[in-house]
Structure 1
């Protein structure tokens, strides 16, 4: 049995504020020439409760954050002993463009997921030096996507923006022992052939 590790959660209030600001911007765009004073918080909240086609569930920031956290936690019992290096979240309208340092001897594993209204997939591009690989990240999946990166030079993770979208991206960068790397050992250089 693996030892229990402390979990560090993304502050829900900060993520919710970020999501609501994106939703308010979207609501302003949809309201012709009424200015910002006419967009009431209750209208913005009501607008968020609309469902994507065929989803069967309303989209709300708090629920989306909880679903994304569960997707990231789905790999907790995979037998590895991940050590949290960094974590974060972003609104899909802003995207992600983050450079990570990758020192040491342990491999890095980027766990990333998205939850959005009306968006099924986002594009993640991993870059290190001249090497670059693009991947699709499924939004609303029960398990986060995982990408292995060997230690070494800094690398960049970029998630393309969806300017008209409402949703979030949640990610965690963990370190894992080289023996715990599952699948491709370098998802930036690529293992397909």
Structure 2
């Protein structure tokens, strides 16, 4: 039986997480089809809350076995975000099996650890400038990982002037690519929120698959 999995992310560039969902499924020997609808294409604007996205997705299709619901912790605790997601599911789509995906503080924290990938995305794979990347044990304490990631890609590129401006404009695309390149067995495997995501997804897949 192939599981139909719905992934609702915070933004379109988070779609790079889909290959990782598929890899985790392969690791537990559960066949899946992952749908990650871009709700921004809908005629009626969809709000940013989990409940808004769930409501819009349910109107498109109810034919899912499991949902992954992404919500960055930001300035809130993981428990607060879990409660928010749980309340949203209960109100909008009762009985939906789901896994909360809660990076601390933002998903960009998962992308700040792979030096080789950052240099590759920056277009300067053989660069030598010191990027001063955080350690896995401290990356979840970085106040604004999105800002730090953008600055780090710029630094790794060693570009100046107009070329640097052009690179910075491509940040959403580069962020998406970094997420695709993320090594599940690399430093991110030591990050608490990532390990929780993988563990809970694995268990949910096995449970839904029977």
User: Is TM (by shorter chain) over 0.5?
Assistant: no
Please state which structure has a larger fraction of its residues in helix.
2
TM-score, normalised to structure 1's length? 0.24
